[in-house]
A and B are shown apart, each in its own frame.
Chain A
Amino acid sequence: MTEKLAKAPAVGDVLPAIEIPITLQRLVMEAGANRDFSLMHHDSAVAQSAGASAAFANTFFLMGMFERLVRNWAGSCIRFKKIGPLKMLNFNVVGDTLLFRGKVVAIDEVERGEKWLLNLWCESGRGQTTTCMVEVIKE
């Protein structure tokens, strides 16, 4: 992973997309790692009783994937100031291949550098499932 962006970002820049398939094994690994053992994130029958078609990815996974999207693009040189609002518009279920995307929507000078505002989202075969705003600080 690069330590720094090759050039300073500009409003409108697009972040390189990340594709990741959602398998039950990945959800189980994720639950073990992030400690969210809510049943609907690893038990499809329970998830169906809550309106989803199968076990679905939890909030911590989505937030972590948006963090990865930003790190992959910006490298180590930024600090996260805010993640959210992260809005879940549809379930991200086992069998989906998710595409995480984003773009730069604002760059502002702040006391100790710049604040970059990023508009991120996640897509599946059913369209946009999750949206997320992120603020990072580049000192």
Chain B
Amino acid sequence: MSDVGWGLWGSWEETEACLNTVVGEWWGPDPVEPGSIRRWLEPKEFDCAIHTDVGAARAVGFPDLVAPASMVFSYGVAPYWLPGDSSKSIDDEPTQIQIPVIFNVPAPCNKSFATSMEVEFNEPLYPGDVVGCVSRLIDIQRKTLKVGPGAFLRQEDTYTKQSGEVIAVANLDIFRFYVEQGVTK
């Protein structure tokens, strides 16, 4: 498994051609609901009543339970499989989170990791809300780091509700780079 690579392969010219274009657009498959909020709180040992108790949320001015602000990303993740999609076979590459600047933008790179993120919140998320996301590639900075040569790609994600209200706008910086297979730096 250590030799697994990921990301859409291509030239730097193809990367540049994607600058300032929409590189991804989808809807999260699941509406906001208490069960997924509880499971999100669990590994962080995060105890805050407005996320689990309607009365506590209403007491501070929310109309219903409110999802943690940073859960917008989870509700906005594209589905990994939907009815009608083909079945995976044992030799298929594992499916990773759909980050368009990695999987939709060509680049001569086979590895990546996130380096920075910032998000501005406009609207809280309540049970029943569904989250859509539109991603644009807004910056490319070529760089060589210790792990290998590559580039920082900045993706701007606009998250909206089914009503069209903007929930949040996020900027995500991903460093995509090239490592010769079998070589760990």
**A residues near B, CB below 8 A?**
1, 3, 20, 26-27, 29-30, 32-40, 43, 45-46, 48-51, 58-61, 63-65, 67-68, 71-72, 75-77, 79-88, 139
In the bound complex, residues from chain A placing their C-beta under 8 Å from that of B3 are 49
**For the complex, is B82 an interface residue (Cβ under 8 Å from A)?**
no
**Interface SS of chain A:** helix
Verify A60–B69 contact, CB threshold 8 A: no
From B11-19, B84-92, B113-121, B157-165, give the one contacting chain A.
B113-121
Known A33-B42, A49-B4, A68-B46; contact A86-B113, beta-carbon cutoff 8 A = no
A125 shortest CB reach to chain B, Å: 20
Verify B49–A1 contact, CB threshold 8 A: yes
Verify A76–B2 contact, CB threshold 8 A: no
Which of the residues B43, B56, B172 comes within 8 Å of A61, measured between beta carbons? B43
Known A33-B40, A35-B74, A37-B80; contact A84-B2, beta-carbon cutoff 8 A = no
Verify B44–A68 contact, CB threshold 8 A: yes
Q: Which residue of A lies closest to B113 (CB)?
A: A50
Which of the residues B4, B61, B114, B185 comes within 8 Å of A88, measured between beta carbons? B114
Verify B60–A76 contact, CB threshold 8 A: yes
In the bound complex, residues from chain B placing their C-beta under 8 Å from that of A39 are 1, 4, 6, 94, 96
A37 to B94, CA, bound (A): 9
Known A83-B69, A84-B119; contact A45-B48, beta-carbon cutoff 8 A = no
Within residues 26 to 54 of chain B, which ones have a CB less than 8 A from any CB in chain A?
36, 39-40, 42-50
Verify B68–A64 contact, CB threshold 8 A: yes
**For the complex, is B95 an interface residue (Cβ under 8 Å from A)?**
yes
Within residues 51 to 78 of chain B, which ones have a CB less than 8 A from any CB in chain A?
56-57, 59-61, 68-71, 73-74, 77
Q: List 5 A-B contacts (CB under 8 A).
A: A33-B42, A38-B97, A50-B147, A59-B172, A88-B114
Which of the residues B47, B49, B74, B111 comes within 8 Å of A50, measured between beta carbons? B111
In the bound complex, residues from chain A placing their C-beta under 8 Å from that of B184 are 48-49, 51
Verify B39–A32 contact, CB threshold 8 A: yes
In the bound complex, residues from chain A placing their C-beta under 8 Å from that of B147 are 50-51
A13 shortest CB reach to chain B, Å: 19
B36 shortest CB reach to chain A, Å: 7
Q: Which residue of B lies closest to A85 (CB)?
A: B118
Q: Which residue of A lies closest to B38 (CB)?
A: A33
